[in-house]
C-alpha cells in the first residue's frame, strides 16, 4: 500500500467515506492540517506549482521587456476588475 493509499484510508477512518464540504467545510481544513504531506520541496504551504528556479535564473538581474509587459498586463487586468467593482457599487 502506498503512502497516499494509507492517507486515504486514515481520512476515511477519521471522516467517513463521503465528505460533504457544503455541510461541513471545516473538514477540508482539518484534513489539510492533519495530513500535511512531507514531500513539499521544503516550503511551507505545500508543493510549489513548478520546480524551483535554478541558479542561472538569477543571472543578469535586470528585467526584460517581456517581464515588464507581463506585469503591465497583470496591472491592467486588476485595474479593469476594480473599475467593474466600483461601477457595480454605484449602480
* pLDDT given at position 81: 87
8-state DSSP, 72: H
The dihedral over CA atoms of 36, 42, 43, 45, expressed in degrees to the nearest 10, equals 0
CA angle 85, 87, 91 (to 5 degrees): 120
**81 close to 89: Cβ distance less than 8 angstroms:** no
Per-residue pLDDT in tens (0 to 9) along the chain, 91 residues: 788 888 889 888 988 889 888 888 888 888 888 877 544 454 455 555 566 666 555 556 677 888 888 888 989 989 988 888 887 766 5
Q: Say what the pLDDT of residue 39 is.
A: 47
Spatial contact of 35 and 14, defined as CB atoms under 8 Å apart = no
Amino acid at each position: 500500500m502506498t503512502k497516499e493509499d494509507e492517507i486515504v484510508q486514515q481520512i476515511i477512518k477519521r471522516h467517513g467515506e463521503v465528505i460533504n464540504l457544503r455541510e461541513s467545510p471545516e473538514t477540508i481544513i482539518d484534513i489539510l492540517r492533519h495530513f500535511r504531506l512531507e514531500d513539499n520541496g521544503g516550503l511551507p504551504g505545500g508543493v510549489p506549482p513548478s520546480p524551483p528556479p535554478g541558479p542561472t535564473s538569477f543571472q543578469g538581474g535586470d528585467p526584460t521587456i517581456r517581464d515588464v509587459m507581463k506585469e503591465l498586463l497583470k496591472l491592467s487586468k486588476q485595474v479593469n476588475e476594480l473599475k467593474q467593482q466600483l461601477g457595480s457599487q454605484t449602480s
